Amino acid sequence: VSQEREAWQWLQNIDKNSIFHWYGQSYIVPSSFTQMDTYTWLQQYHFMPWLTFDEFTRWLYSARLVSMPMMCSCKQNLKLYVCKHAVGFMIHLNLYVITDPAKLQVLGKRRGRPKKADKALSRS
Comparing C-alpha atoms, which of 10, 1, 22, 2 is closest to residue 88? 10
pLDDT for the residue 53: 93
DSSP string, 52-105: SHHHHHHHHTTEEEEETTTB-SSHHHHHHS--HHHHHHHHHTT-S--S-GGGGS
The residues spanned by each domain of the chain are 1-119
pTM above 0.85, yes or no: no
C-beta neighbour count of 92 within 10 angstroms: 16
pLDDT for res 52: 93
The pLDDT of residue 103 is 62
pLDDT in tens, the chain (124 residues): 577 777 777 787 877 788 888 888 788 888 777 678 888 888 888 888 889 999 898 888 888 888 777 677 676 665 666 777 777 777 777 777 777 666 666 656 666 677 777 777 766 5
Pairing type for strands 63-67 and 20-23 reads: unpaired
Q: In degrees, to the nearest 5, what angle opens at C-alpha 38 toward C-alphas 48 and 15?
A: 170
Strand ordering across the sheet containing 63-67: 20-23, 26-30, 63-67
Which of 18, 39, 28, 23 lies closest to 47 in space, CA to CA? 39
